Amino acid sequence: MTEPSCWARLDRTAFLVAQAIAAAMPAPVRELGAETARAMLASTPSEVPLTPLDRVEDLAVPTRAGQLRARRYHAPAAPDGVLLYLHGGGFVLGTLDGADEACRAIAARSGWDVVSLEYRLAPEDPFPAALEDAIDTIAWLRKNGSDRIAVGGDSAGGNLAAALCLYLREHGLPLPDTQILVYPAVDDRFSTPSWTEFADAPLLTTADARWLWEQYVGGSSAAIDQYAAPMKAASLRDLPPALVLTAEIDPLRDDAEAYAGRLRTDGVPTTLIRHNGVFHGFFTEVGTFPQTGAALDDVARHLRAIDSGHSGP
Protein backbone atom coordinates (compact mmCIF):
# COMPACT_ATOMS: atom_id res chain seq x y z
CA MET A 1 0.00 0.00 0.00
CA THR A 2 1.24 3.50 -0.90
CA GLU A 3 0.39 6.01 1.79
CA PRO A 4 -1.11 9.39 0.81
CA SER A 5 1.46 12.18 0.53
CA CYS A 6 0.09 14.05 3.55
CA TRP A 7 1.07 11.11 5.77
CA ALA A 8 4.72 12.17 5.37
CA ARG A 9 3.99 14.99 7.84
CA LEU A 10 2.99 12.59 10.60
CA ASP A 11 5.48 11.87 13.33
CA ARG A 12 6.72 8.29 13.69
CA THR A 13 4.13 7.20 16.26
CA ALA A 14 1.23 8.73 14.36
CA PHE A 15 2.44 7.17 11.10
CA LEU A 16 2.51 3.70 12.61
CA VAL A 17 -0.94 4.16 14.16
CA ALA A 18 -2.28 5.41 10.83
CA GLN A 19 -0.94 2.29 9.11
CA ALA A 20 -2.60 0.08 11.74
CA ILE A 21 -5.95 1.86 11.32
CA ALA A 22 -5.78 1.52 7.53
CA ALA A 23 -4.97 -2.18 7.80
CA ALA A 24 -7.87 -2.79 10.18
CA MET A 25 -10.52 -0.98 8.13
CA PRO A 26 -11.90 -3.10 5.26
CA ALA A 27 -13.52 -0.06 3.65
CA PRO A 28 -14.07 3.66 4.30
CA VAL A 29 -16.69 4.58 6.90
CA ARG A 30 -18.98 5.96 4.19
CA GLU A 31 -19.02 2.54 2.51
CA LEU A 32 -19.39 0.55 5.73
CA GLY A 33 -22.45 2.53 6.82
CA ALA A 34 -23.38 3.63 10.33
CA GLU A 35 -24.21 0.29 11.90
CA THR A 36 -21.15 -1.60 10.67
CA ALA A 37 -18.78 1.29 11.38
CA ARG A 38 -20.11 1.58 14.94
CA ALA A 39 -19.50 -2.12 15.56
CA MET A 40 -15.99 -1.99 14.11
CA LEU A 41 -14.88 1.20 15.86
CA ALA A 42 -16.51 0.70 19.26
CA SER A 43 -14.04 0.59 22.12
CA THR A 44 -14.34 -0.64 25.67
CA PRO A 45 -12.52 0.83 28.66
CA SER A 46 -9.56 -1.04 30.02
CA GLU A 47 -10.17 -3.05 33.20
CA VAL A 48 -7.40 -0.99 34.79
CA PRO A 49 -7.84 2.60 33.58
CA LEU A 50 -4.79 4.73 32.92
CA THR A 51 -6.25 7.37 35.24
CA PRO A 52 -8.02 5.73 38.17
CA LEU A 53 -10.60 7.85 39.97
CA ASP A 54 -12.25 7.13 43.29
CA ARG A 55 -15.70 7.77 41.89
CA VAL A 56 -17.15 7.38 38.40
CA GLU A 57 -20.93 7.47 38.37
CA ASP A 58 -23.42 6.39 35.69
CA LEU A 59 -26.32 8.80 35.29
CA ALA A 60 -29.68 9.00 33.57
CA VAL A 61 -30.35 12.54 32.34
CA PRO A 62 -33.99 13.51 31.75
CA THR A 63 -34.46 15.23 28.37
CA ARG A 64 -37.28 15.94 25.95
CA ALA A 65 -36.29 12.68 24.20
CA GLY A 66 -36.46 10.64 27.39
CA GLN A 67 -33.64 9.59 29.67
CA LEU A 68 -30.15 9.61 28.19
CA ARG A 69 -27.07 7.86 29.54
CA ALA A 70 -24.27 9.96 30.95
CA ARG A 71 -21.21 9.35 33.06
CA ARG A 72 -19.86 11.65 35.79
CA TYR A 73 -16.17 11.63 36.58
CA HIS A 74 -15.62 13.08 40.03
CA ALA A 75 -12.48 15.14 40.56
CA PRO A 76 -10.22 13.87 43.35
CA ALA A 77 -11.04 16.84 45.61
CA ALA A 78 -14.06 19.11 45.93
CA PRO A 79 -14.75 20.10 42.32
CA ASP A 80 -14.21 23.62 41.04
CA GLY A 81 -17.03 23.12 38.57
CA VAL A 82 -18.38 20.66 36.03
CA LEU A 83 -17.41 20.24 32.38
CA LEU A 84 -20.18 18.95 30.11
CA TYR A 85 -18.23 16.85 27.61
CA LEU A 86 -19.63 15.88 24.21
CA HIS A 87 -17.75 13.10 22.42
CA GLY A 88 -16.71 13.05 18.79
CA GLY A 89 -17.63 10.63 16.03
CA GLY A 90 -19.02 12.68 13.17
CA PHE A 91 -22.51 12.81 14.74
CA VAL A 92 -22.87 9.14 13.71
CA LEU A 93 -20.26 7.30 15.78
CA GLY A 94 -18.80 7.65 19.26
CA THR A 95 -19.66 6.39 22.73
CA LEU A 96 -19.13 7.16 26.39
CA ASP A 97 -16.51 4.43 26.49
CA GLY A 98 -14.54 5.96 23.63
CA ALA A 99 -14.10 9.19 25.59
CA ASP A 100 -13.62 7.48 28.97
CA GLU A 101 -9.86 7.85 29.37
CA ALA A 102 -9.86 11.48 28.21
CA CYS A 103 -12.65 12.38 30.63
CA ARG A 104 -10.81 10.65 33.48
CA ALA A 105 -7.65 12.57 32.69
CA ILE A 106 -9.44 15.92 32.53
CA ALA A 107 -11.12 15.36 35.90
CA ALA A 108 -7.87 14.27 37.54
CA ARG A 109 -5.74 17.05 36.08
CA SER A 110 -8.14 20.00 36.21
CA GLY A 111 -10.00 19.62 39.49
CA TRP A 112 -13.31 19.86 37.61
CA ASP A 113 -15.90 17.10 37.48
CA VAL A 114 -16.67 15.89 33.96
CA VAL A 115 -20.12 14.80 32.78
CA SER A 116 -19.90 12.90 29.50
CA LEU A 117 -23.21 12.66 27.61
CA GLU A 118 -24.37 9.87 25.30
CA TYR A 119 -26.39 12.10 23.00
CA ARG A 120 -28.54 10.76 20.17
CA LEU A 121 -26.78 9.92 16.92
CA ALA A 122 -27.57 10.37 13.24
CA PRO A 123 -28.88 9.17 10.87
CA GLU A 124 -31.53 7.74 13.20
CA ASP A 125 -31.75 11.08 15.02
CA PRO A 126 -30.44 13.85 12.75
CA PHE A 127 -29.97 17.54 13.55
CA PRO A 128 -31.12 19.09 15.86
CA ALA A 129 -31.49 16.02 18.11
CA ALA A 130 -27.95 15.99 19.51
CA LEU A 131 -28.00 19.73 20.14
CA GLU A 132 -31.35 19.44 21.94
CA ASP A 133 -29.80 16.75 24.15
CA ALA A 134 -26.95 19.11 25.05
CA ILE A 135 -29.37 21.99 25.74
CA ASP A 136 -31.47 19.81 28.04
CA THR A 137 -28.43 18.42 29.83
CA ILE A 138 -26.91 21.79 30.67
CA ALA A 139 -30.33 22.91 31.96
CA TRP A 140 -30.48 19.76 34.11
CA LEU A 141 -27.00 20.40 35.48
CA ARG A 142 -27.96 23.94 36.49
CA LYS A 143 -31.22 22.76 38.01
CA ASN A 144 -29.26 20.29 40.11
CA GLY A 145 -26.95 22.86 41.62
CA SER A 146 -24.04 23.17 39.18
CA ASP A 147 -23.28 26.89 39.17
CA ARG A 148 -19.88 26.69 37.47
CA ILE A 149 -20.21 24.95 34.13
CA ALA A 150 -17.89 24.58 31.16
CA VAL A 151 -18.81 22.91 27.88
CA GLY A 152 -16.48 21.09 25.55
CA GLY A 153 -16.07 18.32 23.06
CA ASP A 154 -14.03 16.96 20.19
CA SER A 155 -14.93 17.01 16.50
CA ALA A 156 -18.72 16.64 16.30
CA GLY A 157 -18.76 17.24 20.05
CA GLY A 158 -16.86 20.49 19.47
CA ASN A 159 -19.57 21.51 17.01
CA LEU A 160 -22.23 20.77 19.62
CA ALA A 161 -20.37 22.71 22.32
CA ALA A 162 -20.01 25.75 20.05
CA ALA A 163 -23.64 25.54 18.93
CA LEU A 164 -24.80 25.18 22.53
CA CYS A 165 -23.05 28.43 23.44
CA LEU A 166 -24.70 30.19 20.49
CA TYR A 167 -28.12 28.85 21.47
CA LEU A 168 -27.76 29.94 25.08
CA ARG A 169 -26.63 33.42 24.02
CA GLU A 170 -29.48 33.84 21.54
CA HIS A 171 -32.08 32.75 24.11
CA GLY A 172 -30.77 34.87 26.97
CA LEU A 173 -29.85 31.84 29.06
CA PRO A 174 -26.85 31.59 31.42
CA LEU A 175 -23.64 31.00 29.51
CA PRO A 176 -20.95 28.51 30.49
CA ASP A 177 -17.76 29.82 32.06
CA THR A 178 -15.83 28.64 29.01
CA GLN A 179 -16.02 26.53 25.85
CA ILE A 180 -13.38 23.95 24.94
CA LEU A 181 -13.41 23.08 21.25
CA VAL A 182 -11.13 20.26 20.11
CA TYR A 183 -10.82 20.22 16.30
CA PRO A 184 -14.48 21.25 16.08
CA ALA A 185 -16.58 20.78 12.93
CA VAL A 186 -17.96 24.29 12.49
CA ASP A 187 -18.59 24.86 8.77
CA ASP A 188 -20.52 23.09 6.02
CA ARG A 189 -18.71 24.55 3.01
CA PHE A 190 -15.65 22.23 2.96
CA SER A 191 -13.77 25.06 1.26
CA THR A 192 -10.67 25.87 3.33
CA PRO A 193 -7.29 24.55 2.07
CA SER A 194 -6.98 21.74 4.63
CA TRP A 195 -9.98 19.96 3.10
CA THR A 196 -7.88 19.48 -0.03
CA GLU A 197 -4.42 19.29 1.54
CA PHE A 198 -5.46 16.53 3.96
CA ALA A 199 -8.23 14.95 1.91
CA ASP A 200 -6.69 11.51 2.50
CA ALA A 201 -5.63 12.02 6.10
CA PRO A 202 -5.76 9.06 8.50
CA LEU A 203 -9.01 8.18 10.29
CA LEU A 204 -11.03 11.04 8.78
CA THR A 205 -10.88 11.74 5.05
CA THR A 206 -12.69 14.59 3.34
CA ALA A 207 -15.04 12.14 1.61
CA ASP A 208 -15.96 10.47 4.90
CA ALA A 209 -16.45 13.86 6.57
CA ARG A 210 -18.88 14.88 3.85
CA TRP A 211 -20.80 11.62 4.24
CA LEU A 212 -20.98 12.01 8.02
CA TRP A 213 -22.23 15.57 7.64
CA GLU A 214 -24.96 14.43 5.27
CA GLN A 215 -26.14 11.89 7.86
CA TYR A 216 -26.35 14.67 10.46
CA VAL A 217 -28.26 17.24 8.39
CA GLY A 218 -30.41 14.72 6.53
CA GLY A 219 -28.81 15.21 3.13
CA SER A 220 -30.12 18.76 2.70
CA SER A 221 -28.30 22.05 3.23
CA ALA A 222 -31.41 24.19 2.80
CA ALA A 223 -32.09 24.69 6.51
CA ILE A 224 -28.53 24.66 7.86
CA ASP A 225 -28.15 27.54 10.29
CA GLN A 226 -25.68 28.61 12.98
CA TYR A 227 -26.81 25.83 15.28
CA ALA A 228 -25.74 23.20 12.73
CA ALA A 229 -22.72 25.10 11.35
CA PRO A 230 -21.58 27.66 13.96
CA MET A 231 -19.41 29.50 11.41
CA LYS A 232 -22.69 30.73 9.89
CA ALA A 233 -23.40 32.87 12.98
CA ALA A 234 -23.59 36.55 12.04
CA SER A 235 -21.59 37.42 15.15
CA LEU A 236 -19.67 35.50 17.81
CA ARG A 237 -19.66 38.41 20.24
CA ASP A 238 -20.44 37.84 23.92
CA LEU A 239 -19.71 34.11 23.79
CA PRO A 240 -17.73 32.43 26.59
CA PRO A 241 -13.90 32.45 26.54
CA ALA A 242 -12.63 29.64 24.33
CA LEU A 243 -9.83 27.13 24.08
CA VAL A 244 -9.50 25.73 20.55
CA LEU A 245 -7.19 22.77 19.92
CA THR A 246 -6.36 21.46 16.45
CA ALA A 247 -4.32 18.67 14.86
CA GLU A 248 -1.84 19.47 12.10
CA ILE A 249 -2.87 16.73 9.64
CA ASP A 250 -6.65 17.09 9.72
CA PRO A 251 -9.17 18.18 7.07
CA LEU A 252 -11.03 20.15 9.78
CA ARG A 253 -7.95 22.10 10.85
CA ASP A 254 -8.41 25.31 8.88
CA ASP A 255 -12.12 25.62 9.67
CA ALA A 256 -11.44 25.21 13.39
CA GLU A 257 -8.60 27.74 13.32
CA ALA A 258 -10.72 30.18 11.32
CA TYR A 259 -13.44 29.89 13.96
CA ALA A 260 -10.86 30.71 16.64
CA GLY A 261 -9.88 33.74 14.57
CA ARG A 262 -13.48 34.92 14.34
CA LEU A 263 -13.94 34.50 18.07
CA ARG A 264 -10.92 36.72 18.67
CA THR A 265 -12.07 39.30 16.12
CA ASP A 266 -15.45 39.46 17.86
CA GLY A 267 -13.82 40.14 21.21
CA VAL A 268 -13.98 36.66 22.77
CA PRO A 269 -10.82 35.76 24.72
CA THR A 270 -9.54 32.75 22.76
CA THR A 271 -6.51 30.50 23.02
CA LEU A 272 -5.63 28.48 19.91
CA ILE A 273 -3.13 25.62 20.12
CA ARG A 274 -2.16 23.40 17.17
CA HIS A 275 -0.63 20.00 17.93
CA ASN A 276 1.81 19.02 15.21
CA GLY A 277 2.57 15.58 13.81
CA VAL A 278 -0.82 14.03 14.61
CA PHE A 279 -4.15 13.50 12.89
CA HIS A 280 -7.82 13.95 13.71
CA GLY A 281 -8.93 11.88 16.69
CA PHE A 282 -5.67 12.05 18.65
CA PHE A 283 -7.23 13.82 21.65
CA THR A 284 -9.00 10.77 23.07
CA GLU A 285 -6.14 8.32 22.40
CA VAL A 286 -4.68 8.58 25.90
CA GLY A 287 -1.42 6.68 26.24
CA THR A 288 -0.85 6.47 22.48
CA PHE A 289 0.46 9.89 21.45
CA PRO A 290 2.58 12.31 23.49
CA GLN A 291 0.49 15.08 21.94
CA THR A 292 -2.60 13.65 23.65
CA GLY A 293 -1.08 14.18 27.07
CA ALA A 294 -0.05 17.69 26.09
CA ALA A 295 -3.56 18.50 24.84
CA LEU A 296 -5.16 17.17 28.02
CA ASP A 297 -2.76 19.39 29.96
CA ASP A 298 -3.91 22.32 27.78
CA VAL A 299 -7.51 21.64 28.81
CA ALA A 300 -6.68 21.21 32.49
CA ARG A 301 -4.60 24.39 32.53
CA HIS A 302 -7.40 26.29 30.82
CA LEU A 303 -9.98 25.14 33.36
CA ARG A 304 -7.71 25.95 36.27
CA ALA A 305 -7.11 29.41 34.77
CA ILE A 306 -10.87 30.00 34.70
CA ASP A 307 -10.78 29.49 38.47
CA SER A 308 -8.12 32.15 38.88
CA GLY A 309 -9.93 34.67 36.72
CA HIS A 310 -7.94 34.21 33.51
CA SER A 311 -9.32 32.95 30.20
CA GLY A 312 -6.59 30.68 28.89
CA PRO A 313 -3.67 28.39 29.71
Residues written for the chain? 313
Q: Are strands 149-154 and 113-117 parallel, antiparallel or unpaired?
A: unpaired
| Active-site residue, from 110, 116, 155, 194 | 155
- Domain positions in the chain are 5-307
**How many other C-beta atoms lie within 10 A of the C-beta of residue 193?**
10
Q: Which of 187, 280, 298, 302 is catalytic?
A: 280
CATH-assigned architecture of domain 5-307 = 3-Layer(aba) Sandwich (3.40)
Annotated active-site residue 250? The verdict is: yes
**128 DSSP 8-state letter:** T
Per-residue confidence (pLDDT) for residue 311, from 0 to 100: 47
Q: What is the pTM of this model?
A: 0.96
Confirm whether 311 is a catalytic residue: no
Per the annotation, the verdict on 110 as an active-site residue is: no
pLDDT along the chain (313 residues), means of 10: 92 98 94 95 86 97 98 93 98 97 98 98 96 98 94 98 98 98 97 98 98 88 85 98 98 98 98 98 97 98 80 47
Q: Residue 78 has what pLDDT? A: 85
Q: What pLDDT score does 223 carry?
A: 72
**Beta strand extents in 25-129 (DSSP E only):** 56-63, 66-73, 82-86, 113-117
In this structure, the number of other CB atoms found within 10 A of the CB of residue 219 comes to 10
pLDDT at 8: 97
Alpha helix (H) ranges present in the chain?
12-24, 29-32, 34-41, 100-110, 129-143, 156-170, 193-197, 206-217, 253-265, 290-307
pLDDT, position 293: 98
Using CA atoms, how far residue 241 sits from 55, 111, 166, 180, in Å, is 29, 19, 13, 9
Measured between alpha carbons, how far is 145 from 155 in angstroms, rounded to an integer?
Answer: 28
> Which residue in the list 250, 254, 255, 298 is annotated as catalytic?
250
